[in-house]
Amino acid sequence: MLSASVTPTAQGYYGPFGGMFIPEILKTTFEQLITAFKEAQRDPEFWESYVKFMQSYSCRPTPVTPLDNIAEMLGGHFRLLCKREDLNQTGAHKANNVMGQGLLVQRMGKSRVIAETGAGQHGVATATMAAKLGLECTVYMGALDVERQRPNVFWMEQLGATVIPVTEGTATLKDAINAAMRDWAESMEDTHYVLGTVCGPHPFPELVSYFQSIIGHEAREQVSKITGGALPDRIYACVGGGSNASGIFLPFVDDSEVELVGVEAGGKGLGSGMHAARIPARQVGIAQGYKTYFLQDEEGQMQHTHSIAAGLDYIGISPILSHLYDQGRVHFTAATDEAVVEATKLLIRKEGLIPALESSHALAAILAEASNFNDGETILFNLSGRGDKDIFNIAEAIGDEKWKDFIRKKATQL
C-alpha cells in the first residue's frame, strides 16, 4: 500500500532512523505483533474489511472541501483545499489507526487495549473502538493534558475507559507513553498497546502509517476529480509525532512534483525555548524505543516542550518523517501559537469550519507562505481534527471575557 521508499528494513529502520529498542521482556510480544501485522498486510481481505468498516462506522471517505473564501482573500491566484478528517468518527484522523489496530487485536485474540494520549483525540478514539469491539480499555494521559482537555477525558470515561493521569516528568504526552509501556510490560499476555502515532519501536511507525494512509489514498482521487486530473502542487500537515502528516504524505511520496510540508509547533517562537520544533536543531537521539530527531540538548537530555495544541508538544518526530526530511522529500516549517490562533479564527469566520488547534498549524503556514505560491497552484492541507476539544483554550487565547469568566468559574469547581 505504501512506497518502497518508506518501507522499513527487517530491523525497522528508515535510513538511520527507527529501530526497536525495547526491554527483553517485550521482545516476544513485539515479534507476535510483527507477525500478525505482516500476515494482515498480505491478506487483501483485511484491507478491504478495514475500508468497509471505516465506511460504515467513521464517515469515510471524508471529503475534500474547497476553501474559496480564504483563497480569494489571499489573492485568488491559487486553489485551496482541505481534507476533512474532522468529520471522522470522534472528530479526528485518530480513528483510522485505532480501528485498524482494533481489527488486529481481534486477529491476535487479545481482550484489553491500552493507549497514551496528548490532546485526547487518540484516547477518545481508542475508547470508542474498545466499546465497539467489546474490549477493556485503559488510557494514560499527562496530568497537564487532563486539565486542558477536559471534554475528551469526560467522553473517554463515558465510553467505559479508565483514564489514568500521569504526574511524572512534564505530565504530558512523553510521560503518558512511558506509563503505558510500563503497563504493557506487566500485561502483555492479554493486552495490546494501541500506540497513537508513527513513533515508537518497530513496527509501530509502519503499522500506524499503514492505516493512516487511507487519508492520502482518498485525497489522490478526490483532488484529481476537482482539478481535472492533476495532483496537488503542495500538501501541508501539522506534525507532532506525525500520524496525520504521514497519512496524507506517504501516498504522494513518489510524486516528486508534489511538495510535502510538515508544520511543527513554534510555540512562543523558536528562540524562546518554549516550542516543540524538533527539526531546526536536528539532534539525533534514542528514546521511547526508537531513534529519531528529538528536542534535546547536546548531552542528550530531553528538553521541555510547549505548544498551544496539546497534540503537538511531543519531544520526538516520526523516524519516517526524519528520513524523508534528510532525503529532501519533506520540508519543515513552524507556526507560532499566535499565528495558529489567528488561523483558527480565520477558518471559523471565513469558511464556517471549526478546526482543532493542531490542524490550524498547517493553515497558519499556508497563510505565511501564500505570497510565494504560483498562479494556478493547488494547495491541500489536512484538517486533521475539529476544535470541540479546544473550546476553552481558544476562548482563553482570543480573550473572550464572557468565556474567560465561565472558564474561571468552572476551574474553581474542579
Q: Domain containing 189 — which CATH number?
A: 3.40.50.1100
Structural domain that includes position 156: 15-55+94-208
Q: Please state, in angstroms and rounded to a whole number, the distance separating the CA atoms of residues 412 and 414.
A: 6
For the question of whether the overall pTM of this predicted structure is more than 0.85, the answer is yes
213 catalytic per annotation:
no
Q: Are residues 265 and 326 in the same domain?
A: yes
Catalytic member of 85, 116, 218, 351: 116
CA distances from 156 to 113, 130, 131, 153 (A): 13, 10, 10, 5
* The three three-digit cell numbers of residue 62, written as one number: 471524508
* The three three-digit cell numbers of residue 9, written as one number: 528494513
Q: Are residues 100 and 247 in the same domain?
A: no
Catalytic member of 110, 174, 384, 389: 384
| Residue that terminates a domain, selected from 185, 208, 231 | 208
Q: Are residues 82 and 162 in the same domain?
A: no
For residue 4, tell me if it sits in a domain.
no
Alpha-carbon torsion 286, 37, 384, 221, what sign? Answer: positive
Q: Please state, in angstroms and rounded to a whole number, the distance separating the CA atoms of residues 106 and 114.
A: 14
Q: Are residues 183 and 288 in the same domain?
A: no
Closest CA to 122 of 157, 98, 145: 98
For residue 354, tell me if it sits in a domain.
yes
> In tens digits, what is the pLDDT along the chain, a chain of 414 residues?
567 679 999 999 999 999 999 999 999 999 999 999 999 999 999 999 999 999 999 999 999 999 999 999 999 999 999 999 999 999 999 999 999 999 999 999 999 999 998 878 899 999 999 999 999 999 999 998 888 788 889 999 999 999 999 999 888 888 898 999 999 999 999 999 999 999 999 999 999 999 999 999 999 999 999 999 999 999 999 999 999 999 999 999 999 999 999 999 999 999 999 999 999 999 999 999 999 999 998 888 899 999 999 889 999 999 999 999 999 999 999 999 999 999 999 999 999 999 999 999 999 999 999 999 999 999 999 999 999 888 878 888 777 777 767 766 765 555
Catalytic member of 58, 83, 85, 94: 94
Helix axes 94-108, 27-42, angle to 10 degrees: 100
Q: Are residues 332 and 403 in the same domain?
A: yes
246 catalytic per annotation:
no
| Residue that terminates a domain, selected from 208, 224, 245 | 208
Q: Please state, in angstroms and rounded to a whole number, the distance separating the CA atoms of residues 337 and 345.
A: 12
For residue 7, tell me if it sits in a domain.
no
For residue 237, tell me if it sits in a domain.
yes
Q: Please state, in angstroms and rounded to a whole number, the distance separating the CA atoms of residues 254 and 63.
A: 23
Q: Are residues 37 and 141 in the same domain?
A: yes
Q: Are residues 29 and 177 in the same domain?
A: yes
Q: Are residues 78 and 224 in the same domain?
A: yes
52 catalytic per annotation:
no
Contact 274, 334 (CB under 8 A): no
Q: In what order do the strands lie in the sheet with 290-294?
A: 13-14, 17-18, 290-294, 283-287
